[in-house]
Each structure stands twice: as structure tokens, then as C-alpha cells.
Amino acid sequence: MIQSELVERITKEVVQSLTARNAGTVHAQTAGGRNILTAADLPPYIDHTLLRPEASGAQIDKLCDEAIKYKFCSVCVNGSWVAHCARRLSGTGVKVAAVVGFPLGAMLGRAKNLEARHAIEDGAREIDMVMNIGALKSGDLKLVEDDILWVVRACTSRALLKVILETALLTDQEKILACQIAKNAGADFVKTSTGFSTHGATVADVALMRRTVGPTMGVKAAGGVRNFADAVALIEAGATRLGTSSGVKIVMGSAAEGDY
């Protein structure tokens, strides 16, 4: 169990880091000799996402075609669309990411394992699973870890695993705990949000997650990433991947509306 002193220290360091960063600006143009992010730099960060239950085949095809055109990292879809997307994206370099236990995370770990295994068999190369949020909030940390381990076993050597924390529902201490558990279980990424809760990614949450997991583990910001400024701010805070349904407008430098 993490000690409260460590939680307080990590949170304080994140706040200090954000304060220092915000004393200037969080823009694409940076000081101190660092690289300048442009819209052309963003496609490799983007998981082009369509998770709405009413998504049609035509909309999924458009998602794939846009991902090919703009060279996004992946498309992120529900499991029933994985095989279709894998066929359409074959040979393009764009990966398929499938959500598992989505959007609630409250199903059994072995059910998530089965869902992940089928998605991988259908062509998914990344799995975005929702952790058991209720177990975390109940203090049942073993169940949280076991739940993740079920999906780790499905992904081993076959797919990258991202663990969705749903940060909107967690305290800072719970976010830190969740990050530590996911890292210890062998996940490749921690991810902020499903996009279906009260709010999505924030700069503060991404910074807290990055500080907790260290410099090498992936951090994915998802939910409410709607324009170029949002994307750059989250990357500056430590995100290495962005989940968004507004990828095209972001790389075109436009504001966008959307639910993810």
C-alpha cells in the first residue's frame, strides 16, 4: 500500500511542475532549445477513435480511410469492428486498437481476457481495457491487479496493453495507486478516460500519471481532446498517445466538437 506521504510528495511535485510550465505558455512553440511541435508532428500520437454504439459501417470505413490518409497510429474501435478494420487497414501501417471491458470495467477479469483474446485473433495489436474502478474505490487492490493480469495474459507478446483508469471518478491518491498497480501488472500504458464519464483528460491528471509511472511507460490522454492546443498541452504534460475522435481537425489545426 502506498503511503500518504508519497502521494502528497508526488502531487506536490506535479503541481510545482505545472505551475512552472504555466508561468510561460503551453503552446507548440517552446523555449530552451526544445523541439517545436507542429500539426505535422501529431499523427503518430493519435489513436483515431470511434466508439459510439450507433457507429455504422460507413462511419467505420471513413475512420479507417482518414487514419490511412493522415498516417495516424491506430484506429480505436469496439470489438465487433476489429476484423473489418484489420482487413481495411492491412498493409497500411495503421494498427487496430480494441476496447475491452468498455466502458464500465465492472465485468469479470476472465471475461475481459476472452474479449481481448478474440480481438487479438481478429487483428487487434493494441488493447485498451477499463480497469475495475469499483474494486479500486473499495480498496480491493488485489482484485484490481488480478483484473489487469487477466488481460496481460491475453496480450503477452501479441498486443500492447493500455489500462483505462477513468480519472474523472478517482481521487489523486486513487490515480496514483491505479498507475502503480497497472505498471506492476505489466501494462504498457496507463490511460486517462473512456470518454463516456463526467469528463476526460486533463493536463493535471496526465502530469500526475507521468510522474507516477516514470519516463518510459506510456501515458494516453483520451476524452475531450478536441483541438491542436489541447493536444500539445497534453503532450507537454507527458502524454505519449492521444485518443480522440477529432484527429483530422486536430492535425488540420482546427477546433472540433465531439464526445471523445
For 111-149, what is each residue's pLDDT tens digit?
999 999 999 999 999 999 999 999 999 999 999 999 999
Selecting among 122, 128, 147, 188, the annotated active-site residue is 128
Please give the pLDDT value at position 253: 80
Q: What angle do CA 193, 102, 171 make, to 5 degrees?
A: 35
Give yes or no for residue 7 having a pLDDT over 90: no
Q: Which of 18-22, 24-28, 182-186 has the lowest mean pLDDT?
A: 24-28
Confidence of residue 10 (pLDDT cuts 50, 70, 90): low
Please give the pLDDT value at position 18: 46
Interstrand relation of 95-100 and 126-130 (parallel, antiparallel or unpaired): parallel
Please give the pLDDT value at position 11: 58
Determine the Cα–Cα distance for residues 238 and 68; give it in Å rounded to an integer: 26
Selecting among 122, 162, 220, 230, the annotated active-site residue is 220
Q: What is the mean pLDDT of residues 85-93?
A: 98
pTM for this model (two decimals): 0.87
191 in catalytic set: yes
For residues 12 and 228, the model is more confident at: 228
128 in catalytic set: yes
Give yes or no for residue 87 having a pLDDT over 70: yes
Q: Which residue ranges form the domains of the chain, and what is each CATH number?
A: 47-251 (3.20.20.70)
Q: Which of 10, 15, 17, 85 is nearest to 50 (CA)?
A: 85
Angle between the N-to-C axes of helices 172-185 and 203-213, in degrees from 0 to 180, rounded to the nearest 10: 40
Selecting among 147, 191, 205, 230, the annotated active-site residue is 191
Nine cell digits for residue 243: 485518443
Confidence of residue 75 (pLDDT cuts 50, 70, 90): very high
Give yes or no for residue 260 having a pLDDT over 70: no
Cα dihedral sign, 221-98-163-216: negative
Give yes or no for residue 4 having a pLDDT over 80: no
> Considering just the CA atoms, what is the radius of gyration of the chain in Å?
18
Give yes or no for residue 36 having a pLDDT over 90: no
Please give the pLDDT value at position 19: 40
For 99-121, what is each residue's pLDDT tens digit?
999 999 999 999 999 999 999 99
Q: Which of 17-21, 81-85, 89-93, 191-195 has the lowest mean pLDDT?
A: 17-21
Confidence of residue 28 (pLDDT cuts 50, 70, 90): very low
Determine the Cα–Cα distance for residues 22 and 45; give it in Å rounded to an integer: 23
